[in-house]
Amino acid sequence: MSTALEISALSKSFAGVQAIRDLSFTVPKGVSTALIGPNGAGKTTVFNMVSGVYGVDAGRITVNGVDVTRMPSRKRIGTGVARSFQNVRLMPHLSVLENLLVGQHVRASSLAALFTPYRLIPNHRWKREARAALEESGLGRWADETVSALPYGVRKRIDLVRATLAGASLLMLDEPAAGLNPSETNALRDHLKDLMAKGTTLLVVEHDMHFVDSICQNVVVLNFGEKIAEGPLSRVRQDPKVREAYIGSDGEA
Amino acid sequence: MVAQQIVNGLMLGAIYMLVAVAFTLAIGVLNFLNFSLPGLFMAGGMLAFGLMKAGWPFLLAAAGALAAAAFISLLVERFAYRPMQGGDPEVPLVSSLGFLVLLENLMLVQFGSDQQAFPALLPDLNLRIGGLVIGYAQLASLVLSLGIVAALSFVLAKTAAGRRIRTVAESRETALLMGIDIARLVPQLFVASAALAALAGILFAVNYQQVSPFMGEGVGFKGVAAMIVGGMGSIWGAVLGGLLIGLAEVVSISFIGADVVNITVYGLLLLILIVRPQGLMGRAPSREKL
Amino acid sequence: MSGYLTGVLVVLAFNVMAAYAVYLPLAAGQLNLGIAGFMAIGAYGSAFLTNEYMWPMWAAVPVGALAAGLTGLLIGLPVLRTHGIYFAMATFALGQVISAVFLNLEVVGGAAGYPVTDYAGPNVVFAAAAGVVLLMLYISRTRFALELTAVKSDPTVADLLGVPVRGMKVAAFALGAMVAGFGGALYAHHYNFVEAQHFNVLLSVFTVLYVLFGGTQTVWGPLVGAAFFTLVPELLRASDQWRYAVFAVFIIVFMAIRPQGLVTAALFRQFRRRAPEASS
């Protein structure tokens, strides 16, 4: 089985505080994985290093077989990795369709593409493609709305469509279910399952263990920047080290 | 000769320093590049001149000019700063420029566009130390400026009010959580920075014995340059920047010629911005948190 | 057309070109407070080539524009490492330095100014301004414009989506500088005289004022802003000495009521709702 993401011996410290210590784990293609652990365990830091927002102190990151450890952040999407943010980050003043068009950049970045007057061409293929992707996720009716006017749950899912349009085969989601009501959570879950069925691999940071259980086959547990357990959720939650890590925090696992 | 130029540069630098501190208060705490400050600088000088012409004694005229500048600054806060919260950061800059244009044109209508002679306050007495000639008026304004800046720095560092201001500068959210009344603090800051700018204008008028409706532009923009060279938001940075810009100006005038002033002063600014954008004494901007 | 009206419209044409020069980088979130400097490069460059080397105007004007654009590119690379207010101040300083350099350049007349022999009539100026507007309209219909907005709106996310953030900023800045240089070159040939003092801070700052007043959300904002700022003071001429004071009060009150500028994207969407088939 080939791997979507391989992290080996990764370390990172901020101002002398070791945020990630000698971390290694693998996300095989098609095996959606959850990254869990108490607050401050270093989950988001891992995302930031994989997406290139932070550099690494030591170790290696490989996405779909490509070593991205020293690659500039903007080039990494070309290897097939995209991420979401804890608070959805769409461009608020642009319409939904325009946000999706920005997502297509990685596949339309030539000078000729940049200066094609696509807005003057009725039904230009970029617009068609973006609309089709929205329709497919049942979000078609929002296409021309301004993002800032949309409900939170819809924005989260548009974020997913944008990542799909960017050609992401590995999608890192930072607390996707946070702040959603139950029906929005269900819609999101269906959307994610649909993406997985089409071959996308997920790496999810999430506190809601029911949600994790319903979409992830594998779980990696972090505590103080170190991996303390790995495996299916049912087994990991029996692990005494994991139980210990969560005592004194919210005891959710 | 060189020593004399250095002294002259420091005297001029003291004026820039006050303007730079005024700008740095607005930028450092409120994140607002307040372009009405050159207008308030000019209003300080012009109104003091106008009131003296109307027969007021100097100190009363100066107080009147300061009070008027403070009042105008409250209008700036009300119309240029307050409505713009949460919008594009360039917008308050435009409105504050509107105030600069307004003030200049009001003075123009009242006093005409010509340069006016500001009466000499102190008889033309000079202090002579070795070969150096130092005007009493200039010396007095240098001492006054440094005293005010030192006092301001003390207030910011040591008092409860200063702590509140620093908290707002660090993070508005934290300040709100701590129950700091930002709505009351902001107008006070506007009054303080206006008073500094207007005082600089009065001192300029006293030292150089001339005023005009457009005197704020050159000095005001150099004040901005001084603030950035020293480091935005740093009071002592503004002091250092002001003195440096004053020195650079005087020295380049006397050794190369008046026309190159802008090249040296703004070239220095440009160089600093490229090499060390946070200024000589500023802290590096922190990277966005995700 | 009366001479007076032509004169006003020529000023309008120059203001429109300058406004778009400011608008392009501003669309990517970069406030250029030194646009006058780039105009000066175009003006002096083109004037120098026609005067001293007998170049024809049609060749000298584009070269002047290119020189301004190239300066923007070279300066933009180091300066665009800084952002926000630092960038604005760097352009401000740059504008001051450029005009001060020309003030001291004796080959182009120094402080006495520089007479220019070749003349560009009003129609040439109008055509040039129309060309700039058309070019901007075209650009606003491309992915380039969309990605500039993305860079302004959220540079971190734009970067992670693969958009070359710094490259886009430099491109917008240099293109804007080129447009400024183009306008400046025509200015030199229309008035047959350039002096460094004309290209001062206030020219830069007033241009920014037009653009923000018109609004930066759509490509029409700068046009509307420039038109307003050129024509209204003329209409207020009756009140003569008070007109700039009245005008300033108007700006202050207007920006307080409508900080997003006169022309906004929402305004356009309202129009489009009324005529739905016109939308993309």
Contacts of A78 in chain C (CB under 8 A): 162
C-alpha B16/C-alpha C2 separation (Å) is 48
**Contact assignment for C209 to B94 by CB distance below 8 Å:** yes
More confident of the two residues C243 and B241 = B241
**For residues A33 and A7, what is the distance between their CA atoms, to the nearest angstrom?**
13
Contact A117 C157 (CB under 8 A): no
Within a domain: residue B22? yes
A53: contact with B, CB 8 A cutoff: yes
A83 to C160: CB separation less than 8 angstroms, yes or no: yes
The reply to whether A51 touches chain B by the CB within 8 Å rule is no
Cβ separation A115–C144 shorter than 8 A: yes
Q: Which of A74, A113, A116 sits opposite C162 (nearest CB)?
A: A74
Instruction: List pLDDT tens digits, range B105-139.
Output: 999 989 988 888 888 876 667 777 777 888 888 88
Q: B287 to chain A, minimum CA–CA distance in Å? A: 10
Number of A to B CB contacts under 8 A, please give it: 4
Shortest distance, CA A152 to any CA of chain C (angstroms)? 18
Q: What whole-number distance in Å separates Cα of residue A117 and Cα of residue C139?
A: 7
pLDDT digits (tens, 9 = 90+) for C139-168: 999 999 999 999 999 999 999 999 999 999
- Residues in chain C with CB shorter than 8 Å from the CB of B85 are none
Distance, in Å, from the CA atom of A129 to the CA atom of A134, rounded to the nearest integer, reads 9
At residue C277 the predicted structure's pLDDT band, cuts being 50, 70 and 90, is: very low
List the end-to-end C-alpha distance of chain A, in Å, as a whole number: 29
- Whether pLDDT at C275 is above 70: no
What's the gap in Å between the CA of A17 and the closest CA on chain C? 25
Please tell me whether residues A54 and A66 are part of one structural domain. yes
Distance from CA of C204 to the nearest CA of B (A): 12
User: Which residues of chain C lie closer than 8 angstroms to B273, CB-CB?
Assistant: 79, 82, 86, 89-90, 93
The two structure tokens encoding residue C164: 């070359």
Residue type for position C216: T
Strands A170-174 and A81-83: parallel
Q: Which residues on chain B are in Cβ contact (under 8 Å) with C86?
A: 228, 273, 277
Model confidence at C224, pLDDT cuts 50, 70, 90, reads very high
Tens-place pLDDT, residues A28-66: 999 999 999 888 888 989 999 999 989 999 999 999 999
Q: Do residues C153 and C99 make contact, with C-beta atoms less than 8 angstroms apart? A: no
The tens digit of pLDDT for each residue in C246-255 reads 888 888 888 8
Instruction: Determine contact, residues B198/B148, Cβ cutoff 8 Å.
Output: no
Question: Which pLDDT score, from 0 to 100, does residue C45 have?
Answer: 96
- Token pair listed for C168: 């886009």
- Shortest distance, CA A221 to any CA of chain C (angstroms): 26
Q: What is the pLDDT of residue A251?
A: 45
Percent of chain A at pLDDT above 70? 97
Q: Tell me: the pLDDT tens digits for C157-209? A: 999 999 999 999 999 999 999 999 999 999 999 999 999 989 988 899 889 98
CB of B290 within 8 Å of a chain A CB? The answer is yes
Is residue B29 within 8 Å of residue B234, measured between CB atoms?
A: no
pLDDT of res. B290: 39
Is pLDDT of B209 > 50? yes
d(CA B16, CA B239): 8
B284 touches chain A (CB under 8 A): no
Element (H, E) at A221: strand A218-223
φ, ψ of residue B16 in degrees (nearest 5): -60, -40
Q: Which of A134, A151, A166 is the last residue of a domain?
A: A166
Inside any domain, residue B239: no
Residue to test with chain B: of A12, A47, A53, most B Cβ within 10 A: A53
Residue C272 tokens, joined: 């489009």
The sign of the CA dihedral B225, B227, B232, B236 is: positive
Mean pLDDT of B203-221: 90
HEC sequence for B41-110: HHHHHHHHHHHHHCCCCHHHHHHHHHHHHHHHHHHHHHHHHHHHCCCCCCHHHHHHHHHHHHHHHHHHHH
How far apart, in Å, are the Cα atoms of C244 and each of B40, B80, B104, B105, C214?
18, 18, 9, 6, 18
CA angle C114, C102, C119 (to 5 degrees): 30
Phi, psi of A19 (to 5 degrees): -85, -35
Whether the CB of B173 is below 8 Å from some CB of chain C: the reply is: no
Q: Tell me if A73 and C161 make a contact (CB, 8 A cut-off).
A: no
Where would I find the H helices in chain A?
43-51, 96-103, 111-114, 125-136, 152-165, 182-197, 209-215, 233-236, 240-246
Residues C37 and C199: beta-carbon distance below 8 Å: yes
- The backbone torsions φ and ψ at residue A109, rounded to the nearest 5 degrees and listed phi first, read -110, 5
Average pLDDT over residues B11-28: 91
What average pLDDT score do residues C216-238 get?
Answer: 86
Query: Residue A18 phi/psi, 5° resolution?
Result: -80, 110
Please give the residue range of the domain that contains residue B79: 15-213
* Domain range enclosing A10: 1-80+168-253
- Cβ-Cβ contacts under 8 Å, B228 against chain C: 86, 89
Say whether both A174 and A246 belong to one domain. Answer: yes
Percent of chain C with pLDDT over 90: 61
Question: Chain C: residue nearest A128 by CA?
Answer: C280
Q: Is residue B288 part of a domain?
A: no
B30-67: pLDDT as tens digits: 888 898 999 999 999 999 999 999 999 999 999 999 99
What are the pLDDT digits (tens) for A148-174?
A: 889 988 998 899 899 888 888 999 999
Q: How big is chain A, counted in residues?
A: 253
Lowest-confidence region among A177-181, C77-81, C108-112: C77-81
Chains in touch with C (3+ beta-carbon pairs under 8 Å) read: A, B
Q: How far is B85 from chain A (nearest CA, A)?
A: 17
User: Nearest by CB to B95, which of C93, C96, C256?
Assistant: C256
B275 and chain A in contact, CB less than 8 A: no
B285 pLDDT exceeds 60?
A: no
| Closest Cα in chain B to C215 | B91
The pLDDT of A175-187, averaged and rounded, is 89
In this model, does residue C278 exceed pLDDT 80?
Answer: no
Q: Tell me which residue of A174, A230, A201 sits closest to A24, measured CA to CA.
A: A230
This complex has an ipTM of 0.89
pLDDT at A71 over 70: yes
> Per the structure, how many domains does chain A have?
2
The domain ranges of chain C are: 3-199
Pairing relation of β-strands A17-28 and B132-135? unpaired
Per-residue pLDDT, A1: 54
